[in-house]
A and B are shown apart, each in its own frame.
Chain A
Amino acid sequence: NAGVTQTPKFRVLKTGQSMTLLCAQDMNHEYMYWYRQDPGMGLRLIHYSVGEGTTAKGEVPDGYNVSRLKKQNFLLGLESAAPSQTSVYFCASSYSLGTDTQYFGPGTRLTVL
């Protein structure tokens, strides 16, 4: 049982490049989330999904897109990376929105030059 996994762990992009971050969970959770973590800002929700094929905007969705084609996977895309998107990105999952616990992955550190 790996829990929540994220790939890649580190990535450096140039401004304007695109990339996709992959999140996978093996807990059969319905709900998945993408957060970004910046110093002094805590964790801010980018997008989330309440089930396969559905996504919704979080607190800071601009510049990001997501897809949930399979229940176990949640992809975060950056179409044209900007230096302001330099951050640590965390994926999380939970059994339901009302369930107490969100399980987090180990994070992806992204630097945009």
Chain B
Amino acid sequence: QQQVKQSPQSLIVQKGGISIINCAYENTAFDYFPWYQQFPGKGPALLIAIRPDVSEKKEGRFTISFNKSAKQFSLHIMDSQPGDSATYFCAARARSNDYKLSFGAGTTVTVRA
């Protein structure tokens, strides 16, 4: 049973649009929430991460919004570009679990030119 539930499974967005991916969790011991980006045929790479003491973190066109009370966090990709077409994984980590990452199922984002 996955500890982090991710949705949607896939999405298509027009160039310049906003992509939104949502993740939810139950384990309140999670203390670190990274997002990984994976291009076809490649391994995942860290994109952006947030800790639960902040509600939002922005890096360029990528923003994580975090709602601790709702146990939800989301990735927003602003001004989506064709080069953003990839699979995105949310994850969470707990010290009580030896800091091992629990990954969501992934969202495949396709940006149409």
Q: What residues make up the interface of A, taking CB atoms closer than 8 Å to B?
A: 4, 40-45, 48, 56, 58, 90, 92, 97-98, 100-107
Contacts and interface: CB of A to CB of B under 8 A. Distances in A.
A50 B4 CA distance: 24
A100 B32 contact: yes
B34 A100 contact: yes
Contact of B100 (A42, A45, A100, A107): A45
Nearest to B4: A42
A42 B43 CA distance: 12
Contacts of A45: 100-101
A52 B98 CA distance: 17
9 contacts: A41-B2, A42-B89, A56-B98, A90-B43, A100-B32, A102-B101, A104-B43, A104-B44, A107-B43
A42 B103 contact: yes
A106 B44 CA distance: 8
B44 A90 contact: yes
B43 A105 contact: yes
Given A97-B98, A100-B32, A100-B34, A43 B103 contact: yes
Nearest to B42: A106
Contact of A42 (B45, B99, B104): B104
A100 B49 contact: yes
B61 to A, nearest CB: 20
Contacts of A42: 2, 4, 6, 89, 103-106
A41 B101 CA distance: 14
Nearest to B104: A42
A95 B4 CA distance: 24
A41 B105 contact: yes
Contacts of B9: 40
